[in-house]
Chain A
Amino acid sequence: RKEVEQDPGPFNVPEGATVAFNCTYSNSASQSFFWYRQDCRKEPKLLMSVYSSGNEDGRFTAQLNRASQYISLLIRDSKLSDSATYLCVVSPFSGGYNKLIFGAGTRLAVHP
């Protein structure tokens, strides 16, 4: 079983749509959670950290459910520029050091 599982997509949505991505992780001792964005043939870039209380950054809302080991990302009012691969990332407890465990990513394509 993979440590971080995501639906690979692709999700094809029109501009203005709301889209939600989900992710599950297997290590219940995981400490930190993130969503990264990766454009085609580019490096991953941090989109947002995910906190137990849920957090929002503009059109993006992230939620964490530790009991279910489940992370979500909601994108409202999708823009063409949101087209990318969204990576669910977990940092396990490994002596306190911060190695990142990546999911395989969910591809989003926003069309006019």
Chain B
Amino acid sequence: EAGVTQFPSHSVIEKGQTVTLRCDPISGHDNLYWYRRVMGKEIKFLLHFVKESKQDESGMPNNRFLAERTGGTYSTLKVQPAELEDSGVYFCASSQDWRATYEQYFGPGTRLTVT
């Protein structure tokens, strides 16, 4: 069974540009999460989808970030316009159920560098 996949693996963009990250969860996983790790800091929660609905977006840093999950399958995270402090590794995770007893499986991450 394929794991969580993310695209691209790396992205280097200039400040002010737009970048869209994609996450494909494990097939059948209704729950999809976005997290990010900025340099020297801990991994932080961004948001949680249940199917196509945003269940919790309390971790989204500001309105330059837009996450979507049309059709409840893959998800995209758009950063527009990108700022230097957005650099970091963006992880996507999926789980079969929202409860804590169900493991969240992480993708390999997208390393974003804003110059």
Q: How far is the CB of A1 from chain B (nearest CB, A)?
A: 13
Are A102 and B43 in touch, CB under 8 angstroms? Answer: yes
Binding site for B on A (CB under 8 A): 2, 4, 31-32, 42-46, 49, 87, 91, 94-105
Q: Which residues of A contact B99 (CB under 8 A)?
A: 96, 98
Given A94-B56, A99-B33, check contact A2 B42 (CB 8 Å).
Answer: yes
Q: Which residues of B contact A103 (CB under 8 A)?
A: 42
Does any Cβ of A come within 8 Å of B91's Cβ? Answer: yes
Q: Which residues of A contact B108 (CB under 8 A)?
A: 42-43
Q: Which residues of B contact A49 (CB under 8 A)?
A: 101
Given A44-B91, A96-B98, A97-B98, check contact A102 B42 (CB 8 Å).
Answer: yes
A-contacting residues, B14-56, CB 8 Å: 31, 33, 35, 41-45, 48, 55-56
Q: Give bound CA distance, A7 to B69, whole Å.
A: 37
Are A98 and B100 in touch, CB under 8 angstroms? Answer: yes
Are A99 and B48 in touch, CB under 8 angstroms? Answer: yes
Q: How far is the CB of A101 from chain B (nearest CB, A)?
A: 7
Are A100 and B91 in touch, CB under 8 angstroms? Answer: no
Given contacts A100-B35, A100-B104, 19 further A-B contacts (CB under 8 A): A2-B42, A42-B108, A43-B91, A44-B91, A44-B106, A95-B56, A96-B98, A97-B98, A98-B95, A98-B102, A99-B48, A99-B58, A99-B59, A100-B33, A100-B43, A100-B45, A101-B45, A102-B43, A103-B42
Q: Give bound CA distance, A91 to B98, whole Å.
A: 11
Q: Which residues of A contact B106 (CB under 8 A)?
A: 43-45
Q: How far is the CB of B20 from chain A (nearest CB, A)?
A: 20
Are B100 and A32 in touch, CB under 8 angstroms? Answer: yes
Q: Give bound CA distance, A91 to B56, whole Å.
A: 14
Does any Cβ of A come within 8 Å of B88's Cβ? Answer: no
Closest A residue, CB atoms, query B91: A43
